[in-house]
Amino acid sequence: MPRHLAFPLAVGVDGAMATLEQDAPAEVAQAVALLLSTEPGERAAEPEYGYPSPLGRGVDPVEVADVIADWEDRADPALVQVTLNTLVEQHAVVHPSIPTTSTGTDVEGA
């Protein structure tokens, strides 16, 4: 069977990219997860592909099943369990720095 890259992309201990066997349960589950985490309009070639963000509106199990039935015929929507995890959003703080020489002057301005 052909293999597909695993998502998120990862490198195995052997140095090769992690893959999943095509049509294996893990690969189909990955395809469904990617479908449900893609908002319509994100893919220019397939603007209808995806599931609208549940933020502020909740998750409609019937709508989820319809999206899966429309886009991922290898998955049985009746067997898909949707678990909504509430994530606490954390903001990253970036501290930019400029490399300096041992004398403490800017590298470019030294």
**Of 83 and 105, the one with more pLDDT:** 83
The predicted model scores a pTM of 0.68
Distances (CA, A) of 38 to 9, 44, 79, 108: 17, 12, 20, 43
Q: Which range, 2-6, 67-71, 106-110, is most confident?
A: 67-71
pLDDT tens profile 20-72: 999 988 898 889 989 999 999 999 999 999 999 888 888 888 898 999 999 99
**DSSP label at residue 23:** T
Distance CA 81, CA 70 (A): 17
Between 50 and 107, the more confident residue is 50
Question: What percentage of the chain reaches a pLDDT higher than 90?
Answer: 33
